């Protein structure tokens, strides 16, 4: 057992009012988790964590712990916080493969999960645990969604996703890879085949552009596309990244690791919107930063910029009349992304808002009965832990909806007899 994890666990004060738990978006029972761990009840600790968050093994690696659990630790006031993420990861990793699946007998009720990102995996697990016949429809060849195709391996080893795939199969969940709903198969086809409830968790894979001249040039790429498969890109030795969020940090650090010598991130704001820890890691890796600078035009040789000032909503309140040029072999645009809406365009009755995000009520049901949604396709590009939190509530609502439908169908059948 790693000594540092034990030592960190022993530093926990087991506060009566744990601020760490309050700071966690999904309210992980951190003090009790640590207490069980130190008492030699690691499997019970892992069971409690998994029940609260089926993606604890993932979240313990990629959450912004400085803003959440560790950032709220009372020890911040005098020294350094307990390294909660390492403790949670150790427990979750040890528990995951040894976890005993105790799903009830299948009830014969079909539920469809469209998309196998954080929201889809969470809901698939929760419904399977309640006896539903769950099928995941994944548009790509492997599960994971943004976890696989949007987060670099050095932050989240993809072997973890293969372990989740094995666990899903062990739970009796069927997975149909390379199946895009909205093309050959539609939502209406799923309903006709007896799926009593459908969940849409397709994420946000359509990159936003800058709406400036030069974005179609051959050396210009979008962050979400690059992260999907970095090995197919030949970027050269001088790369400019426009945007300074967490995704931009992932891109910058990946580009460095693929052998590019000079990588510079340009941001319109005076500080990066990425977490301080991610910025620090990027700087250690060799990434350079320039702030309060906005692109004007992309050329074949680089990017034309000008200095700007923006307000808290990132609206430009001042811009320099003079422009300046920065040379680049490649340019990567990283300014967020939205949904593709392939499903929506082929399905009647599902409304979207002005950003193309699926409209749901507070319980996750769309404007068409029996069809639910959560995750980034509803909330925009948010964190994994937020997607899990919301998806737990949606799973409860899907459960109640399907029970209501089956009861109504049973009553209808009895009336006919």
Give residue 94's pLDDT.
96
Q: Is the pLDDT of residue 378 over 80?
A: no
What are the tokens at 117?
A: 């990102």
User: What is the pLDDT averaged over residues 173-184?
Assistant: 92
User: What is the pLDDT averaged over residues 317-343?
Assistant: 87
pTM, full prediction: 0.91
User: 206: pLDDT confidence band, cut at 50, 70 and 90?
Assistant: confident
Closest CA to 369 of 415, 400, 324: 400
Give tens-digit pLDDT for 50-101.
999 999 999 999 998 989 999 999 999 888 999 999 999 999 999 999 998 7
**In the block, residue with structure tokens 């009965």:** 369
User: What is the pLDDT averaged over residues 132-154?
Assistant: 94
CB distance 163 to 94 below 8 Å:
no
Give residue 216's pLDDT.
97
Buried-exposed string 64-84: b where 16+ CB fall within 10 A, e elsewhere: bbbebbbebbebeeeeebbbb
275 burial type by CB count under 10 A (0-12 exposed, 13-18 middle, 19+ buried): middle
Question: Distance between CA atoms of 242 and 244, rounded to whole angstroms?
Answer: 7
Question: Distance between CA atoms of 262 and 239, rounded to whole angstroms?
Answer: 6
The number of beta carbons lying within 10 Å of the beta carbon of residue 294 is: 21
Axis-axis angle for helices 42-52, 30-38 (nearest 10)? 160
Question: Distance between CA atoms of 145 and 151, rounded to whole angstroms?
Answer: 10
User: What is the pLDDT averaged over residues 217-243?
Assistant: 96
Q: Report the SS3 class of residue 374.
A: coil
Give residue 344's pLDDT.
63
Question: Any idea which of 102-106, 157-161, 278-282 has the lowest mean pLDDT?
Answer: 102-106
More confident residue, 101 or 403: 403
Size of the chain, expressed as the number of residues it contains: 417
Closest CA to 291 of 244, 222, 223: 244
Question: Any idea which of 56-70, 173-187, 201-215, 390-404 has the lowest mean pLDDT?
Answer: 201-215
Closest CA to 393 of 119, 202, 138: 119
Q: Report the SS3 class of residue 97.
A: coil
Report CA Rg, the chain.
Answer: 23
Q: What is the arrangement of strands in the sheet containing 330-333, beginning at the earlier edge strand? A: 220-222, 330-333, 238-242, 262-266, 288-290
User: 347: pLDDT confidence band, cut at 50, 70 and 90?
Assistant: confident
Give residue 1's pLDDT.
45
User: 360: pLDDT confidence band, cut at 50, 70 and 90?
Assistant: confident
Give residue 348's pLDDT.
76
- For the chain, give the percent of residues with pLDDT over 70: 95
User: 286: pLDDT confidence band, cut at 50, 70 and 90?
Assistant: very high
Give residue 42's pLDDT.
95
Helix (H) or strand (E) holding 344: helix 342-345
Give residue 374's pLDDT.
84
Give residue 54's pLDDT.
97
User: 416: pLDDT confidence band, cut at 50, 70 and 90?
Assistant: low
Q: Is the pLDDT of residue 3 over 60?
A: no
More confident residue, 415 or 308: 308
CB distance 84 to 30 below 8 Å:
yes
Give residue 417's pLDDT.
55
User: 102: pLDDT confidence band, cut at 50, 70 and 90?
Assistant: confident
Question: Distance between CA atoms of 333 and 224, rounded to whole angstroms?
Answer: 9
């Amino acid at each position: 057992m790693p000594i540092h994890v034990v030592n960190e666990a022993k530093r926990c004060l087991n506060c009566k009012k744990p601020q760490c738990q309050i700071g966690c978006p999904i309210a992980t029972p951190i003090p009790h988790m640590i207490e069980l761990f130190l008492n030699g009840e690691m499997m019970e600790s892992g069971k409690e964590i998994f029940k609260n968050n089926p993606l604890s093994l993932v979240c313990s690696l990629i959450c912004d712990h400085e803003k959440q659990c560790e950032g709220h630790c009372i020890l911040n006031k005098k020294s350094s916080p307990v390294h909660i993420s390492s403790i949670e990861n150790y427990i979750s990793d040890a528990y995951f493969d040894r976890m005993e699946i105790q799903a009830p007998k299948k009830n014969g009720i079909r539920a469809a999960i469209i998309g196998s990102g954080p929201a889809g995996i969470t809901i698939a697990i929760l419904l399977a645990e309640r006896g539903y016949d769950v099928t995941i429809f994944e548009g790509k060849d492997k599960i994971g969604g943004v976890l696989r195709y949007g987060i670099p391996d050095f932050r989240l080893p993809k072997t973890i996703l293969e372990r989740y795939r094995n666990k899903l199969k062990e739970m009796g969940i069927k997975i149909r890879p390379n199946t895009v709903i909205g093309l050959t198969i539609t939502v209406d086809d799923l309903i006709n085949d007896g799926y009593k409830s459908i969940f849409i968790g397709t994420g946000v894979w359509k990159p936003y552009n800058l709406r400036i001249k030069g974005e179609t040039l051959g050396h210009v790429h979008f962050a979400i596309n690059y992260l999907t498969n970095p090995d197919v890109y030949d970027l050269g030795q001088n790369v400019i990244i426009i945007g300074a969020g967490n995704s931009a940090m992932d891109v910058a650090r990946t580009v460095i690791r693929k052998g590019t010598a000079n990588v510079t991130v340009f941001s319109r704001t005076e500080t990066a919107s990425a977490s301080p820890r991610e910025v620090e890691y990027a700087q250690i890796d060799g990434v350079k930063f320039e702030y309060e600078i906005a692109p004007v035009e992309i050329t074949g040789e680089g990017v034309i910029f000008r200095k700007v000032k923006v307000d808290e909503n990132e609206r430009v309140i001042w811009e320099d009349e003079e422009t300046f040029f920065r040379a680049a072999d490649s340019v990567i645009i990283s300014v967020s992304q939205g949904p593709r809406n392939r499903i929506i365009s082929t399905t009647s009755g599902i409304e979207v808002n002005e950003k193309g995000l699926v409209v749901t009520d507070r319980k996750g049901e769309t404007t068409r009965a029996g069809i639910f949604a959560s995750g980034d396709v509803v909330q925009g590009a948010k964190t994994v832990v937020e997607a899990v939190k919301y998806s737990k509530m949606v799973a409860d609502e899907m459960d109640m909806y399907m029970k209501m439908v089956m009861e109504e169908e049973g009553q209808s059948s009895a009336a006919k007899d």
